[in-house]
Amino acid sequence: MINLFNTHIDNLSIHRVGNKSRNEAIFLSEQPYGLNDEIMPLLKEFFFKPFRDKEENYFQFAHDVDLEYNEMYNLTTEIFNNPSNVHDISKKITQHLFEQSNHPHIKNGEVYVAYLTNVSIDNKPCDAIGIFKSEIKSDFLQFEEKETQLEMILQQGINLQRLDKGCLIFNYKKEEGYKILTVDSNRYDARYWLEHFLSVDAFQDENFMTKKYLKFCQDFAKDVVLPAEDKKEEVMFMNRAVNHFAKNDNFEESLFLNEVIDNPDLISEFKNYKVDKGEKYSIEDLTTFPIANAAVTDARRKMKNVIELDTNIQIKLDFINPESAEKYVEKGWDEEKQMYYYLVYFNKEQKS
């Protein structure tokens, strides 16, 4: 979890990169930008707002051979080791981005490299580096008084409500490749920013593992539990799975299977499904890991607890008291109508 409320921009360098395939130039500023109290809050909102609104999926610098061959990892380490040299290194970062800007779809734009202090991540204070890029220009009108006439002047500029690309590199978990958050609003070439420029992989911490395992469970429920049982059992399986994660600090797969899956046949199906699909979710060898409570809360919020029927009727199950659905909701088959039905037991209707 990050906190940018008290974050300060200590240094800001602004450059421009063009598209190499279109023979567009690169422009490197000789000096850092002179920040003032008027523009500082506007820039902080421009840079940081996309990260406040974004789900925290972390990345880390990576390389097939060794981290020391990742150029951005080395440039980042140079800055953190000597923050006073950030402007000179920002030129190298911009040059590196320019070298990756050779796909015809990549747009030219301004590059902002900021050194940030008073950042908090996982409740630990640290410094960070922000690298941002603005690409899309917006039309806007300026007005000028000319004698007795008010004239309109059409100009182009950056919309401060929309950051096109950006990343925050935290001086945290250096040995693993630093913790990194990134945003890309345009996604016309996602590989350009993540793979070619930053060269990052997903940061495989407890948050990553919890999210991936629960996503795997969700797909197992849809692909295996639903066809084998019914919609109610699909929903209840996911409810039991999330409840298991919520009440434990550490995940043990054998304990999870015994507690969450009642049908022995489905346990073997689960194991087979993991063999077939585990690599897709990066959990093929994962059997124990610390559980991230924030990821569990996020998964519960996104879960559907509604059985939608083709008769335009919905049955909403209560995840706070899941035993009610187990005890008081039954599914059956009506021979006369040749239709399935749900039978719901209750004592009295609750007032809304």
Please report whether residue 349 resides in a domain.
no
The 10 Å Cβ neighbour count of residue 45 is 13
pLDDT of residue 344: 83
Q: Which domain holds residue 185?
A: 2-203
What is the number of structural domains in the chain? 2
pLDDT of residue 350: 75
Q: Is the pTM of this model over 0.85?
A: no
Statement: residue 172 has pLDDT above 80: yes
Average pLDDT taken over every residue of the chain:
89
d(CA 254, CA 249): 15
Residue 79 lies in a domain: yes
User: In the listed set 182, 203, 224, which residue is the last one of a domain according to the structure?
Assistant: 203
Q: Which position has the higher pLDDT, 317 or 340? A: 340
Q: Is 136 inside a domain boundary?
A: yes
Name the residue with higher pLDDT: 268 or 232.
Answer: 268
SS (H, E, C) 20-52: HHHCCCCECCCCCCCCCCCCHHHHHHHHHHHHH
Q: What percent of the chain has pLDDT over 70?
A: 97
The pLDDT assigned to 200 comes to 94
* 130 in a structural domain: yes
Percent pLDDT > 90 in the chain is 57
Separation between Cα atoms, residue 85 and residue 108, nearest integer Å: 26
Would residue 312 count as lying in a domain?
A: yes
- pLDDT for 119-153, tens place per residue? 999 889 999 999 999 999 999 999 999 988 999 99
In a domain, 352, yes or no: no
- Pick the last residue of a domain from 150, 177, 203: 203
Is the pLDDT at 327 greater than 80? The verdict is: no
Residues 147 and 292 in one domain: no
Q: Are both 191 and 74 inside the same structural domain?
A: yes
Token couple for 257: 């299977």
Q: Is the pLDDT confidence value at 114 over 80?
A: yes
Q: Is residue 351 part of a domain?
A: no
The pLDDT of residue 351 is above 70: yes
Say if residue 280 is in the same domain as residue 222. yes
Q: pLDDT-based confidence at 321, cuts 50/70/90?
A: low
Average pLDDT, integer, range 276-293: 91
Q: Are 144 and 239 contained in the same domain?
A: no
Q: Are 78 and 25 within one domain?
A: yes
Confidence of residue 352 (pLDDT cuts 50, 70, 90): low
If asked whether residues 298 and 276 sit together in one domain, one would say yes
- The answer to whether 215 and 266 have CB atoms below 8 angstroms apart is no
Specify whether 124 is located in the same domain as 97: yes
Q: What is the pLDDT of residues 39-51, one digit of tens each?
A: 999 999 999 999 9
Q: Is residue 226 assigned to a domain?
A: yes
Closest CA to 242 of 174, 312, 297, 308: 297
Q: Are residues 113 and 198 in the same domain?
A: yes
| pLDDT at position 232 | 79
194 and 229 together in one domain: no
Last residue of a domain, one of 153, 184, 203: 203
Q: What is the pLDDT of residue 248?
A: 94
On whether both 340 and 251 belong to a single domain, the answer is yes
Same domain? 63 vs 99 = yes
What DSSP line would sit under 214-264, residue for residue? HHHHHHHIIIIIHHHS-HHHHHHHHHHHHHHHHT-SEEEHHHHHHHH---H
Tokens of 200: 């990052």
User: Is residue 154 located within the same domain as residue 255?
Assistant: no
